Amino acid sequence: MEMTLSELDNKAVRIALHGRLDTPGVDTIETRFAAAAARKNALIDLSDVTFLASMGIRMLLSAARALKLSGHKLILFGAPSLVGETLEHAGLSQIVPIAPDEATALQLLGA
């Protein structure tokens, strides 16, 4: 699992995840991900995530909860069909906004 950060502006960071969000993948990035997602609004690009396991769901939920406590948002976007289905089955869309693409995620961030 790899992670790429890019600053969108002073209020948001874009975090692109690449690979499998399973136990080994989460172990590889979790500390850096939590740190990156803790300081401002976070748009999480899932377009290169090939698998999502319960550990990945836990990592995303933990970051979303921490951001909410600090008055910020975490928005997921670009999930491939298998990953999107996993997010839906886990009920994540009821807790975290999920957008089909980055443009829609940016609109949700402004809302």
| Residue 106, C-beta contacts closer than 8 angstroms, at least 6 positions apart | 8, 43
Is 8 a domain residue? yes
pTM of the full predicted structure? 0.94
Asked whether the predicted pLDDT for residue 93 surpasses 60, the reply is yes
User: What is the residue whose two structure tokens read 């080994």?
Assistant: 24
pLDDT of residue 38: 85
- CATH number of the domain that residue 52 is part of: 3.30.750.24
Is 110 a domain residue? no
Is 92 a domain residue? yes
Per residue in 36-75, pLDDT (tens digit) is 998 799 999 999 999 999 999 999 999 999 999 999 999 9
Range of the domain at 71: 2-105
| Portion of the chain with pLDDT greater than 90, in percent | 86
Q: How many domains does the chain have?
A: 1
Taking residues 76-102, report their average pLDDT: 94
Count of other CB atoms within 10 angstroms of residue 78: 22
Parallel, antiparallel, or unpaired: how do β-strands 74-77 and 12-21 relate?
A: unpaired
Is residue 74 classed as helix, strand or coil in its secondary structure? strand
Asked whether the predicted pLDDT for residue 10 surpasses 80, the reply is no
Across the chain, mean pLDDT equals: 94
Report whether 40 contacts 6 (CB < 8 A).
no
Asked whether the predicted pLDDT for residue 111 surpasses 80, the reply is no
